[in-house]
Amino acid sequence: MSLRMRLIISVILCILLPWVSTYIVSNYFTKDVLEQRAAKQSDDDLRMIELGIKNMFDDIMYTSNYIQFDTNMNQLLKSHKLIEADSPNVKQELALNYNKISNELSGITDLLMPLYITILFNDDLYYTNYSQIEFHPLHFKQKPWFEKLDHLSFYESYWLGAHPTYIKSDRETYPYLITIGRRIQSANSLNSYLIISLKENEIKKLFSQFQSEKRTKFYLTNKTGEIYSSLKTDEVGTILPYDVTKSEYQIVYFEKEKHLLVSYPVSYSNWRLVSLVPYNDTIGSINRVTRTTILIQGGFLVLFLIGLIMLVREFTKPISRLHHVTTAIKHGDLTARIHLSGSNDVAQLGHSFNHMLDTIEEMIEEIKIKEEAKRNAELEMLQAQINPHFLFNVLNAIRLKIKMDGNTGSASLIYSLSALLRMTINRNNAFISLEEELTIVKHYVGLMNFRHQHDVELEIDVNEAASRFEVPRFFMQPIIENAIIHGINNRKQTIKITAYEKINTFLKLGIIDNGKGMDQLTLERLQEKVFQTNSNDYVKSNKSFNGIGVQNVYQRMKLIYGEAFQMTINSIEGEGTTITFHIPVDKGE
């Protein structure tokens, strides 16, 4: 990854990470605080509603206690119970007593909210503050809950909860009533029952006073979640699928929307007041403000980040140029240069880098010139290292031959020697065709056969394309000399030269003798000596025609062709030695 990219990523991380962290932490802590605040607000609302409901229930309980414990009321009830149902004046007595009870209660009920009051006696006599046409009070005894009143003590009340209204004229306007029942017990008298009903709409009115634009929902339920009162009449009697007895607030899903649920107990009963506040209405709005603020900050940070990235790109542009130049140099373009203006530290670095490249290019050029001169000098030295003793010995041998028998074959020997000397002295061209090199080898083998009284047979298997391949002058002579001198064996000695050219790639040339060969250890030592000898460590030998040996042939070919040149030496003791050259088409520069 480039320096520019690392700087840009670092800038992005250093700016965005704190901002994202602030956003997450702010949302996390703000959410808890807002939830607690919203829960407290709902709890306060429920307290106020519960206070209103308590006032309603106080009226009911006051009426109930008045009927049970007031002396005058007890006397009226007692006298009501003493009326005989089969008396001929029963209707007149009941009407008279009914008026007395009404007058007694009117002073209380006129000051309280509208209540439906029913007093039932065991003898099926009754008192109501509503018309019997609306509802006959004896039907209460058929209700399944009525029997539970017998199991209550005189100070206990049975809270029935919401149920459909039994007043016919109110069924459309006030469809539900909330009712309590209790047993009235007086000394020396029969038991009687008191049933007081409150219109559910009175609680609904109380709910509506606290209804706000937040779409808050209020419910009066029992401890199992059955709804006794709601702003929506059709919800009465349904069950909230939540645990409404918990004192802590809850986050629930109601009507596929997230709500905050708060519950509060109701006096006189085990009923609960429940509020469901849409989460987004209470917390979402404040969260939106917070998020909007942070997003605005994020917008400014992004603008700042873009500006900073542009500055980083501008500041690192010289370094990027320097990188392109170094890449070009890596691929071999030493002429590449970095062009920077100004006098800052990066520009000075660029100028220094350009100066260094100029110096390196000059040094490389100087090294090339020196290496070329060195190579030419080495080649000239290699070609000039002809052992004078060989020339003297050959000339003496020819002289003696001619003197002793005047054989005409001596003319051929003199021709071979003159041709060999001519090729040695001619240094105008370091490279000749393989055909010319093979001609030199033929003359050399003929002279060696004459000098050492050998009968070495030379076999040549070279195709026409390979014969035109240009090779260094005299590169095969040391190999042939070694094969003749060190390969003497009891059988007739043969040296075979094979060559073929792989088109536009290399020339494969092999020199194979059937001499005595060498064992594996000797071969490995020879290979180590030949292939690891430094190009400057030329080994001289008086036993060789020109004193350079096989190792100097290898080093000479490496100087000319470079690493593309390959040479292998293989030998089997008693069978002979094979030396193979892979000479590339292109010469090393």
**If we measure between CA atoms, which residue out of 360, 292, 349 comes closest to residue 318?**
349
**If we measure between CA atoms, which residue out of 179, 176, 225 comes closest to residue 200?**
176
pLDDT at 103 over 90: no
CA distance to 102, 156, 319, per residue, from 536 (Å):
141, 125, 43
* Entry pTM: 0.48
Residue-level pLDDT at 540: 44
Is 348 domain-assigned? Answer: no
Backbone angles phi, psi at 323, to 5 degrees: -65, -40
Model pLDDT for residues 228-287, shown as the tens digit of each residue? 999 898 999 999 999 999 888 899 988 888 888 999 999 888 899 999 988 877 776 656
CATH classification at residue 443: 3.30.565.10
Model pLDDT for residues 519-561, shown as the tens digit of each residue? 999 998 988 888 875 544 444 444 444 434 788 888 888 888 8
The region, left, alpha or beta by phi > 0 then psi within -120 to 50, assigned to residue 161 is left
Q: Which of 156, 172, 198 is the last residue of a domain?
A: 198
- How many residues does this entry show for the chain? 589
Residue-level pLDDT at 153: 81
Residue-level pLDDT at 261: 92
Compute the mean pLDDT over every residue in the chain, rounded to the nearest whole number: 80
Model pLDDT for residues 2-42, shown as the tens digit of each residue? 666 777 788 778 877 777 777 776 666 667 777 788 888 88
Is 122 domain-assigned? Answer: yes
Residue-level pLDDT at 391: 61
Q: How far apart are CA 23 and CA 172, in angstroms?
A: 54
Amino acid at 58: D
Model pLDDT for residues 312-329, shown as the tens digit of each residue? 777 777 777 777 777 777
Is 236 domain-assigned? Answer: no
- Residues 265 and 223 sit within 8 Å (Cβ to Cβ): no
Q: Which of 198, 231, 249 is the last residue of a domain?
A: 198
- Residues 42 and 216 sit within 8 Å (Cβ to Cβ): yes
Written as six digits, the tokens of 577 are: 């030695």
Is 237 domain-assigned? Answer: no
pLDDT at 188 over 60: no
Q: Compute the average pLDDT of residues 84-109.
A: 69
Is 255 domain-assigned? Answer: no
Domain ranges, residue 420: 385-584
CATH classification at residue 132: 3.30.450
Q: How confident is the model at residue 111 (pLDDT cuts 50, 70, 90)?
A: low
Q: Compute the average pLDDT of residues 168-193.
A: 81
The total number of structural domains that make up the chain: 2
SS (H, E, C) 530-563: HHCCCCCCCCCCCCCCCCCHHHHHHHHHHHHHHH
Buried/exposed 471-492: b ≥16 CB within 10 Å, e otherwise: bbbbbbbbbbbbbbeebeeeee
Is 142 domain-assigned? Answer: yes
- Residues 206 and 256 sit within 8 Å (Cβ to Cβ): no
Residue-level pLDDT at 298: 76
Q: What percent of the chain has pLDDT over 90?
A: 18
Q: How confident is the model at residue 462 (pLDDT cuts 50, 70, 90)?
A: very high
Model pLDDT for residues 31-58, shown as the tens digit of each residue? 777 778 888 888 898 999 999 999 888 8
Is 277 domain-assigned? Answer: no
Q: Compute the average pLDDT of residues 365-389.
A: 68
Q: Which of 174, 198, 222 is the last residue of a domain?
A: 198
Q: How far apart are CA 211 and CA 511, in angstroms?
A: 113
Model pLDDT for residues 502-516, shown as the tens digit of each residue? 877 899 999 999 888
CA distance to 392, 436, 445, per residue, from 386 (Å):
11, 19, 16
Q: How confident is the model at residue 381 (pLDDT cuts 50, 70, 90)?
A: low
Residue-level pLDDT at 427: 56
pLDDT at 433 over 70: yes
Between strands 494-502 and 506-513, the pairing is: antiparallel
Residue-level pLDDT at 545: 42
Residue-level pLDDT at 73: 74
Is 579 domain-assigned? Answer: yes
Written as six digits, the tokens of 252 are: 């629930």
Q: What percent of the chain has pLDDT over 70?
A: 79
pLDDT at 442 over 60: yes
